[in-house]
Structure 1
Amino acid sequence: MDNKRKRTGLNVLYYVVISAIAVVFLLPFYIAIVYSFKTKSEIAFSGLAFPKVFHFENYAKAIEVSNFFGASINSLILTLAVVLIVTVTCSMAAYVIARGKGGIYNALFYMSLGAILIPFQVVMLPLYVSLKEFGLMNTRLGLILAVAGFQIGYNIFIYTGFIKTVPVSFEEAARIDGCNRFSGFWLIVFPLLKPIVSTSVILNALTAWNEFPISLIVAQKNAVRTLPLTQFYFFGQFNVELNLAFAAFTLSMIPIIALYLILQKNIVGGLMAGGVKG
């Protein structure tokens, strides 16, 4: 009886803790959605209360004021380009590092690992100077290269750990059938990387879609601004449009949430497998 009561108590505690964690993570979404349907006065006086009247016009006004569709196109181009560049280059680089023998390959691996620890503030000025020197400031290409560059270290790290779990015998059998190293990677190894590719895609897409500090430095003109930068339209020196800001924010997070829901089954498995033999 005592053991049964103990198990019941532990189960109750478990569900209480899980529920509390769920509330903490879901509260920002609730605030964003609720505020997006309120007027400014309602936000000031009613706080987190549910809106009495849903002001759908907030969304229409937010789209109009912030050039939302233009920024969405820029964010979409940035996200797709970064995901493609990082997936192709990092998977190939990680393959060479994982299959290579010798100290130089270990050095390359630890260099990529060390790159993760470098904060953006350290390279902010060199990045600005380099992009300006090559004429890439306020261009989509400059923004894409800058954002992709900051994702390389982490992606090489997770890809290398996962590739080391793929048996070398598959590649040896492919070479017997006439595949060279390049075709063997794309035809044999890469299809086996589906879990880590899914993980990489969602993490890189999330980073690129929500990228703010690099975009703030590189994309200073309206023509190349991304969705995170559109929030500036709602915060003036003498006026703050919180309801419109949250409406724009709610719209901008829909695509990335949809992508996460599509690929969520592979994310945890890919991350855990990527940590093996890393």
Structure 2
Amino acid sequence: MESKGTYNFRIFSLEIIGIVIALLFLVPFYFVIVNSMKTFGELLINSANLPQSLNFANYVKVWGIMKFPQVFLNSLLITVFSNIGLVVISSMAAYRLVRKPSRFNNLIFLAFVAAMVIPFQSIMIPLVRVGSQIGIMDSIPGVVICYFGFGVSLNVFLYHGFIKSIPMEIEESAKVDGSSTYGVFWKIVFPLLKPMTVTVVLLNSLWIWNDFLLPQLVLSSPELRTIPLATYSFFGQYTKQWDLALAALVLGVLPIVIFFLAMQKHVIEGITAGSVKG
């Protein structure tokens, strides 16, 4: 027997509201993309209109001024190596905290959770002083190490909750077969963490790729600039080159948007798998 009234006015209204909200979120993207193809004078006259012609001259100028291949490589190296370190450190730490419960481990986990609420602005000056003393300033490895420290708390928290849902029986059978603790983790547990690992990598990438403040504090050499730092160069004290800045924003955002769209399917699959686990 067919169900009646599955599509009614209430569902239709919710769909319309969802479409309107989505369009509101897309408005900033419209202004950025449209105005990035205008001249500076055309942008000032009317920023809401479509460009008179598809003009990619701004992108050509920005590519050379920013030295885009170099800043793109810097951002890519920082994002990739930070993600690798955070995934390895956080997953192993969370596994230890879950599988070896004790007062000390519970205290360590509480410390990780408490660190999540500390604002970055409150530790900027100590970070610069300590970083200068240990020699990690003005280097890509130094920025990566800083991201390890600032990102591990949230990552451990996410992995901690996911590992609890993995049955102990799987690990116990592997130990009976003679597998070591590291073997159990890397061969049995870590593959099961794929949904959470994809989510963690996506969240970290969105944060690290678009981060401005930490690279601004640590990196001072022009050849080490990331994309956000290079984009900031178009905003001077007395002039703001909006036409070039918007083109730079499009070039900087495009890679991470493509990455997000490619990973979104895996994140949804991970959430679905986690909802029915156990």
Q: TM over 0.5: same fold?
A: yes
**Residues 226 and 163 of structure 1, relative CA distance in 2, 3 Å threshold:** same
Contact kept in structure 1, 2:32 and 2:246, CA below 8 Å: yes
Letter of the 2:184 counterpart:
G
Report the TM-score when normalising by structure 2. Answer: 0.93
Query: What's the counterpart of residue 163 of structure 1?
Result: 163
Q: Distance in 1 between matches of 2:270 and 2:217?
A: 32
Mean CA deviation greater in 31-40 or 87-96: 31-40
Q: Secondary structure at the match of 2:94?
A: helix
Query: What's the counterpart of residue 65 of structure 1?
Result: 65
Contact kept in structure 2, 1:161 and 1:273, CA below 8 Å: no
Note if 1:45 corresponds to 2:45: yes
Q: Secondary structure at the match of 1:136?
A: coil
Query: What's the counterpart of residue 24 of structure 1?
Result: 24
Q: Distance in 2 between matches of 1:133 and 1:117?
A: 26
Q: Secondary structure at the match of 1:234?
A: coil
Q: Distance in 1 between matches of 2:268 and 2:118?
A: 25
Offset, 1:77? 0.5
Q: Distance in 2 between matches of 1:144 and 1:77?
A: 9
Contact kept in structure 2, 1:128 and 1:218, CA below 8 Å: yes
Query: What's the counterpart of residue 239 of structure 1?
Result: 239
Note if 1:187 corresponds to 2:216: no
Letter of the 2:225 counterpart:
R
Q: Distance in 1 between matches of 2:256 and 2:271?
A: 19
Letter of the 2:245 counterpart:
A
- Alpha-carbon displacement from aligned partner over 1:187-226 (angstroms, at most 9, x marks no partner): 0000011100100111111111111110111112212110
Q: Secondary structure at the match of 1:150?
A: helix
Report the TM-score when normalising by structure 1. Answer: 0.93
Letter of the 1:23 counterpart:
L
Offset, 1:175? 0.6
Q: Distance in 1 between matches of 2:271 and 2:129?
A: 35
Q: Matches of residues 139-154 of structure 1 in structure 2 within 5 Å?
A: 139-154=139-154
Query: What's the counterpart of residue 97 of structure 1?
Result: 97
Q: Distance in 2 between matches of 1:29 and 1:97?
A: 42
Q: Distance in 2 between matches of 1:272 and 1:150?
A: 28
Mean CA deviation greater in 59-68 or 259-268: 259-268
Query: What's the counterpart of residue 208 of structure 1?
Result: 208
Q: Distance in 1 between matches of 2:227 and 2:36?
A: 16
Q: Distance in 1 between matches of 2:10 and 2:151?
A: 41
Offset, 1:7? 6.5
Gaps of 5+ in 2: none
Offset, 1:64? 1.0
Query: What's the counterpart of residue 76 of structure 2?
Result: 76
Q: Secondary structure at the match of 2:8?
A: helix
Contact kept in structure 2, 1:161 and 1:275, CA below 8 Å: no
Q: Distance in 2 between matches of 1:179 and 1:226?
A: 43
Residue-pair matches, total:
274
Note if 1:131 corresponds to 2:131: yes
Q: Distance in 2 between matches of 1:86 and 1:186?
A: 15
Gaps of 5+ in 1: none
Q: Secondary structure at the match of 1:29?
A: helix
Runs of 4+ in 1 over 4 A off after TM superposition: 268-276
- Alpha-carbon displacement from aligned partner over 1:2-48 (angstroms, at most 9, x marks no partner): x96x9633123202210121012212221211111011111111122
- Alpha-carbon displacement from aligned partner over 1:157-196 (angstroms, at most 9, x marks no partner): 0001001101111110111111011111000000011100
